[in-house]
Structure 1
Amino acid sequence: MANEPDQDFYNRADAIIELTNSHIADSSRGKASASLMYANARFSAWVSACGCRNAEELAASKQQAVDYFLEEFRLMLEENLTDYVENYSRYMNANPD
């Protein structure tokens, strides 16, 4: 990540995950994940638009925004997948092989 997160970063993330988990009961993990990704994309587009004076400026910075958010997501996903690989039994309540 660009900056080292503070505890509030993780608290916000946990709150969003808890909300997403509450939708699994009447949906599925995959559908909840897809909705979460869409919400993140929509919010990120809004954040990007807030930094621009007009549509032309937003259009000119679109690729830069896409590249930034994709790279940040890739890094976060890799970090979390590595964490799950290293802690699979504990996180998934699975029996070790």
Structure 2
Amino acid sequence: MADATDQAFYDRADAHIELSNEQLKTFDNLGQVSASMMFGTTRFNAWALARNFKSGEHMAAEREAMLKYYCDQYRMMLEDNLDDHINHFAQYMQVK
């Protein structure tokens, strides 16, 4: 993924991660901050997708294709990041 993606992609992602990290400073519940970030992402993606349609009916007709695409993309990105954390666990988690 890294080779085909420009630096601005990662900069935008890092800005979202930084917001979540800031929230953790005042709300010490990692699971809930993570869930809020995921909800915000899905809400934004639904809005962004809706902009491509002229009607709810047309959007409904494409619902399964949109779900498949986004679920496949999420899984691919999560797999990449899980593998990265597995391979660099000691570094990322500051294990001595």
TM-score for the superposition, normalised by structure 1: 0.91
Instruction: Letter of the 2:44 partner, please give it.
Output: F
Of the two structures, which has the highest relative contact order with CA contacts closer than 8 Å and spacing of 6 or more? 1
1:64 aligns with 2:69: no
Instruction: Letter of the 1:18 partner, please give it.
Output: E
> What is the aligned partner in structure 2 of residue 55 from structure 1?
56
> What is the aligned partner in structure 1 of residue 40 from structure 2?
39
> What is the aligned partner in structure 1 of residue 9 from structure 2?
9
Gaps of 5+ in 2: none
TM-score for the superposition, normalised by structure 2: 0.92
Identity, in percent, stands at 38
- List structure 1 runs of 4+ shifted beyond 3 angstroms: none
- Residue 89 of structure 1: how far off its partner (Å): 0.6
Gaps of 5+ in 1: none
> What is the aligned partner in structure 2 of residue 90 from structure 1?
91
Q: CA RMSD in A?
A: 1.4
Instruction: Letter of the 2:73 partner, please give it.
Output: E
